[in-house]
Structure 1
Amino acid sequence: MTEVIARGLEGVNVTATKLCRIDGQKGELIYAGYNIFDLAEHSTFEETAFLLWNLRLPTRDELEQLKADLRRERPLSDLNARVQREIVGKIRPMRALEISVIIAGALDPKSSDLSQEQLKKTAALLTARMPTVLAQYHRLRQGLDPVPPRDDLGHAANFLWMLKGEEPNELEARVFDVAMILHAEHEMNASTFSALVTASTLSDMYSAIASAIGTLKGPLHGGANEAVYRTLEAIGTEENIPRYVDDLLARGERVMGIGHRVYKTTDPRAIILEQLGHKLAATSPDRKYFDLSLKLRDYLAKKLEGKPLYPNVDFFSASVYKMLGIPSDLYTPIFAMSRIAGWTAHLLEQYADNRLVRPNALYEGADPRPYVPLEQR
């Protein structure tokens, strides 16, 4: 009897979770019982993080307490700030984010405390620090002084403030807040799984998150949104779409941002981002790539008619972030900055009911054979 190998673990359930449900046929995404469309319309990133960490929405007092905890943890440690200045310009921002997580873990005397209470504190610390790391890294590489966080701004607005030194308007802040909600969680994706594998050894949460960041860095996972931006840059204008796409497909290559391992219809997050994109484009001087995305989507719909290939979350996030004034090499780190809520939520589940992840591999090598001494080979 031939044993079945699930390449890429496709279709394999590796754990049970109360955090997220995806229906790829219907294009449905649920966080702990709440539809992503409802969260995008009514919630905030802070509230969504609380939901993922506690499996329920917070009371007003609980939400205010979480916001206070996040504000308190925003500033970087002296060591992390010094390292930022040493590495800026030498490595890419995703690596800087990875290093910052490792440093935070090294400085935390309670990093090995895997109690649920302490793990939630670690989750809040990492959620608060990541925006500061990315914003300061970007400022420093421009030769500018870091912009300190502001206690009067929410999580999303504060990041844009630290990044650009300009307070975002209400629409910009809300669009980015929703974008972070959309990226906060997505069931058993590659980076979440790598975090769980690390945690299953009872390594600490910081190490597990560093594993997740390393996994997200790959172009087939988090790097897809930056790849979408490069595609739009390469196309340049609407007239170039047919030639570019036809040449790409003739080479057997994929159009980044189109298609998804799970969704067999349009990713619901792409629907929401497109709606947000229209609102930003109404006043943005950088709407060029959003308009180009719409034309590219329409052309692909005709070209790929009959195939289950539709826009995913990366397709519109590239042009939305461009209109927010965010450089393209920060797109994937921002993905991590958002997904930290989901990663840590899954780790809370893993540590609460841990079992070492240790799958098997089907051996296809040589049959048993005698060892031949070196002089006889």
Structure 2
Amino acid sequence: MVDVVKRGLEGVVVSESQLSTIDGDAGRLSYRGYAIEDLARGASYEEVLYLLWYGTLPDQTELAEFTEAMAANREVDDTILEITRALAAADEEPMAALRTVVSALSESDSDADMTDREGNLRKGRRITAKMPTIVAAFERARRGDQLVPPREDLGHAENFLYMLNNEVPNEVVSETFDQALVLHADHGLNASTFSAMVTASTLADPRAALTSAIGTLSGSLHGGANQDVMEMLEDIDRSGSDPLGWIETAIDEGRRIPGFGHRVYSVTDPRAKILSERSESLGKAAGDTKWYEMSTAIEQYLAEEKGLAPNVDFYSASTYYQMGIPIDMYTPIFAISRVGGWIAHVLEQYDDNRLIRPRARYVGPKNRKFVPLEKR
């Protein structure tokens, strides 16, 4: 039998999942059979979490109980806040700080030794509820601002923005951020999700799996593309260049244009279409559509001249920027959302577990004669 090497495991099916499905040729994404467009425009992030974790959309009573349980778990203890402040003072990278603090959450988890599904769900719920608190605390600490404790009367998205900026966001901003969380909640067997599943397959606990996922997301080939997009847009704006001329020059110099192309989609990422609408709405609400107009001009040019389509990162860049979110916090915010999908996949892995143990084809030297140390 000849071993066939699949670089990057591309095209290799390693599991079955009921969570999300992607049709890259048609530009479709769904969570448990629901189109992403319907969920983003009609459901809150809390509803989507419930859907991913429990398999159905909640009714009003179920949603109220779930939302209350999530809100009740937002606070983090003083030990975690001290770690967060110390990492901010040390000028740690945001994703490295998030990875460290999430790993440290085991210190105060009453379900730390529980391994049944309900215990793992409670762990996942706590981590999902606390991650926005950690990210907001880290950002405020490194600014030198006083930390803002969470409020239980605000929704998940609204509360994060409140903790970040010490003011309740307006309806347009709050709704936009909630939609962004929904759009990023799951996306098949991407690198960070697979990393979480590999860790879970050893029967390590969910926190270890999520720490693995955060570490994987921190890599430049997975998270961070929207940061690159916004830095590009800022550079174009600062230089006073014509956006299309800037893009032409970049292409001529062999530079990659961030936010375009995707390992799965051959057409426009469906999430990008929704975030494009939100970027426009934010610009109009603020009376300045500069970033949206620049982005759409670049999208149209690259579609017509190069046949390239935008991915979710292209429009999330200007969307987050217009909400006042620091550029290097974009990937931690990705993690705040994607943690819902990571947990759902980890639970699936536990339910039908087999240790993930692929093989490598050896191509090194063979039949070498050992020489004792004194004769080398």
Sort the TM-score into its range (normalised by shorter chain). Answer: over 0.9
Give secondary structure in 2 for the equivalent of 1:296. helix
Aligned to 1:335: 334
**Residue type matched to 1:337 in 2?**
I
Q: For residue 229 of structure 1, report the CA deviation from its aligned partner.
A: 1.1
Decide whether the 8 Å contact of 2:214 with 2:335 is kept in 1: yes
- Structure 2 distance, partners of 1:80, 1:286, is 39
Which residue is 1:188 aligned to? 189
Instruction: Indicate the SS of the match to 1:99.
Output: helix
Tell me the residue number matched to 2:32.
32
CA shift for structure 1 position 93: 1.5
Go from structure 1 to structure 2 and tell me whether the alpha carbon gap of 1:120 and 1:241 turns closer, same or farther (over 3 Å shift): same
Give the 3 Å change call, closer, same or farther, for CA 287–136 of structure 1 in structure 2. Answer: farther
Which has the larger displacement, 185-194 or 63-72?
63-72
Structure 2 unaligned residues grouped into runs of 5+: none
Kept in 1, the 8 Å contact 2:272–2:313? The answer is yes
* Large movers: runs of 4+ above 6 Å: none
Check the 8 A contact 1:112/1:203 in 2, yes or no. Answer: no
Superposed, which structure 2 residues align to 1:1-377 within 5 Å? 3-90=3-90, 91-236=92-237, 239-284=241-286, 287-305=289-307, 309-377=308-376
1:290 Cα deviation from its structure 2 partner: 2.5
Sequence identity percentage: 47
Structure 2 Cα separation of the partners of residues 240 and 11 of structure 1: 40
CA distance in 1, matches of 2:353, 2:25: 31
Task: Report the more deviating stretch, 132-141 or 190-199.
Answer: 132-141
Instruction: Give the match's secondary structure for 1:331.
Output: helix
CA RMSD of aligned residues (A): 1.5
Letter in 2 for 1:104: L
> What is the number of residues matched between the two proteins?
374
The CA deviation string for residues 149-182 of structure 1, in whole angstroms up to 9 with x for no partner, is: 1122111011111100111111111010000000
Question: Which of 47-56 and 116-125 deviates more?
Answer: 116-125
CA distance in 2, matches of 1:252, 1:263: 23
Shift of 1:51: 0.1
For normalisation by structure 2, the TM-score amounts to 0.96
Tell me the TM-score normalised to structure 1 length: 0.95
Q: Give the CA deviation at 1:2.
A: 5.1
Q: Deviations over 1:315-334 (max 9, x none)?
A: 00010001111111110000
Shift of 1:372: 2.0
CA distance in 2, matches of 1:213, 1:371: 42
TM-fit CA distance, 1:113: 1.7
Unpaired stretches in structure 1, ≥5 consecutive residues: none
Distance 1:59 1:108 in 2: 29
